[in-house]
Amino acid sequence: MPAMEEYVTDTEAPPDRARETMDARELPPPQPLQNTLERLVELDDETVLIQLNDRAPQHLYPKLTDRGYEYETIETELGVITVIWDPDP
């Protein structure tokens, strides 16, 4: 099974930035959404956040767009990986 990092390199996320991973697979809704938004506020704008979830975070997408983030979601055998980054740090 490929590591999560191998999937991330297949996205448009900037490859030269620091990365933080957040595993939300065991969290009940709406905690994945809330925790992800809180984590983004805490992170440096140059850091890419990688969220691992058991489903696509449909309710998160409009909130990311409203805040100016870029994101890409990939379904894998690990779970659903959503890579989030600030396009203009």
Q: For residue 15, which of 85, 88, 89 has the smallest C-alpha distance?
A: 85
- The b/e string for 32-68 (b: 16+ C-beta within 10 A; e otherwise) is bbeebbebbeebeeebbbbbbbeeebeebeeebeeee
- Give the dihedral sign, CA 7/12/14/18: negative
* pTM assigned to the model: 0.94
Q: Which two tokens mark 89? A: 């740090």
Query: Using 50, 70 and 90 to split pLDDT, how confident is the model at 2?
Result: low
Query: Using 50, 70 and 90 to split pLDDT, how confident is the model at 6?
Result: confident
